[in-house]
């Protein structure tokens, strides 16, 4: 019996030692957890001393660099730590060109050939860009590959439309409604508009599918930030479907602030000057001089909810403009032609100006339509008043 016990004990000790040995081997062979990132760049074609900056992206804000250096023998290095993967731009020169990269805590290498344009502005373009060492970047490239197809679609439906587009632009500039109507009535223009509508429908569908595929993690809010430059009420349900983990992620928190911006009620607005459809600059203080209440309305030609609200604005303007109420619409359109076209279609009877990015940022506009009701002293007294709410507020303020 003792002999049996001794054998069992010996076997247990042997197994224990084997287990310890296996665990030790695993520790030796298991890859060490990387808690920081290193970005090593090798860029040919650019002069030594060219400034290189690492700037956060996908935030809808103008971000300051988190690191800066200069090229030496075409090389640069950035180091740092992240809690979760983040999207950055490696910016060259005085913001003359950039390479986007998804950064995670790993050793990342970027190689590319840069070329400085000999035209005014000296913009920098890149080719043969290769990024290795970031699994997050590989996944990002994989998931957004469909954008190459969209680029081809965009180019395809614009083929042969330049002449008509230029003619439409000339008609708008000269306020020649007859010429403009003749352009818009052509079969070629109608075909172009139908293809453009189909294109943007496709863009929206693919973007929504991409976001919804990642609703349980940080990728969802990130892709939502990169899919939309501005948000409208139509996008709020997309955000609500995200998991708590996704909402609490870095991009989830930024997204929440964009969709639910901080109130500006009680703050004063600064005077600003912007251009109208004819390129003439108007100052806000001159437009609203002598008015009791002003509605500053941020919108865009592509914003469905904004366009749907315009009839309500027209009703309010017709009712209260002779009692001291004024509207100042500011478009955040990047495509000036689309804005000009929308102005013709909507025929708004108040001042319409084009944003310069600075004004919308001063108002902290993150989602549209965004309206701010301002009193005669320049103090914001109401936000996002639309339809019946705006009507009720104006009736209360301007009751005779």
Neighbouring C-beta atoms of residue 342, cutoff 10 Å: 22
Collapsing DSSP to helix, strand or coil, 292 comes out as coil
d(CA 161, CA 223): 32
What pLDDT, on the 0 to 100 scale, is given for residue 400?
56
What pLDDT, on the 0 to 100 scale, is given for residue 25?
53
Tell me which CATH code domain 273-397 carries: 3.40.30.10
What pLDDT, on the 0 to 100 scale, is given for residue 23?
55
- Give, in degrees to the nearest 5, the angle at Cα 109 between 108 and 115: 140
What pLDDT, on the 0 to 100 scale, is given for residue 321?
92
d(CA 291, CA 305): 27
Segments in the chain below pLDDT 50: 1-20, 22, 24, 26-31
DSSP letter string, 163-185: HHHHHHHHHHHTT-HHHHHHHHT
**What is the DSSP secondary structure assignment for residue 40, as one 8-state letter?**
E
Q: Where are the domains of the chain?
A: 1-30, 37-138, 144-213, 273-397
What pLDDT, on the 0 to 100 scale, is given for residue 394?
93
What pLDDT, on the 0 to 100 scale, is given for residue 2?
44
CA 379, 380, 381, 385 torsion-angle sign: positive
In CATH, which of 1.10.150.110, 3.30.360.10, 2.60.40.1120, 2.70.70.10 is domain 37-138? 2.60.40.1120
């Amino acid at each position: 019996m003792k002999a049996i016990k001794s054998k069992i004990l010996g076997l247990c000790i042997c197994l224990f030692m084997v287990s310890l040995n296996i665990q030790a081997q695993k520790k030796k062979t298991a890859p060490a957890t990387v808690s920081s990132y290193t970005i090593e760049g090798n860029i040919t074609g650019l002069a030594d001393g060219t400034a290189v900056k690492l700037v956060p992206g996908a935030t809808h804000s103008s971000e300051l660099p988190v690191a800066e250096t200069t090229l030496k023998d075409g090389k640069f290095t950035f180091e740092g730590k992240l809690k979760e993967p983040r999207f950055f731009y490696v910016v060259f020169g005085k913001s003359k060109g950039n390479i986007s990269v998804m950064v995670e805590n790993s050793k990342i290498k970027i190689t590319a050939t840069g070329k400085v344009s000999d035209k005014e502005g000296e913009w920098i373009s890149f080719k043969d860009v290769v990024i290795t060492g970031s699994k997050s970047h590989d996944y990002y490239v994989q998931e957004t590959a469909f954008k190459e197809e969209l680029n081809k679609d965009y180019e395809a439906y614009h083929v042969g439309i330049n002449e008509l587009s230029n003619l439409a632009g000339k008609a708008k500039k000269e306020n020649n409604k007859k010429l403009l109507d003749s352009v818009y009535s052509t079969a070629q223009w109608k075909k172009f508009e139908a293809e453009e509508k189909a294109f943007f429908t496709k863009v929206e569908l693919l973007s929504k599918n991409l976001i919804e595929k990642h609703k349980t993690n940080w990728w969802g809010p990130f892709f939502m930030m990169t899919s939309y430059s501005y948000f409208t009420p139509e996008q709020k349900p997309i955000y609500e479907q995200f998991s708590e983990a996704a909402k609490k992620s870095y991009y989830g928190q930024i997204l929440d602030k964009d969709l639910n911006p901080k109130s500006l009620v009680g703050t004063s607005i600064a005077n600003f000057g912007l251009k109208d459809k004819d390129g003439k600059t108007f100052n806000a203080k001159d437009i609203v001089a002598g008015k009791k209440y002003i509605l500053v309305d941020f919108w865009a030609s592509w914003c469905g909810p904004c366009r749907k609200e315009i009839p309500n604005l027209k009703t309010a303007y017709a009712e209260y403009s002779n009692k001291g109420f004024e509207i100042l619409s500011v478009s955040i359109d990047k495509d000036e032609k689309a804005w000009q076209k929308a102005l013709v279609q909507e025929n708004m009877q108040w001042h319409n100006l084009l944003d310069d990015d600075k004004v919308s940022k001063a108002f902290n506009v993150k989602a549209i339509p965004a309206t701010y009701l301002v009193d005669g002293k320049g103090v914001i007294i109401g936000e996002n008043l639309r339809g019946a709410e705006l009507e009720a507020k104006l009736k209360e303020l301007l009751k005779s």
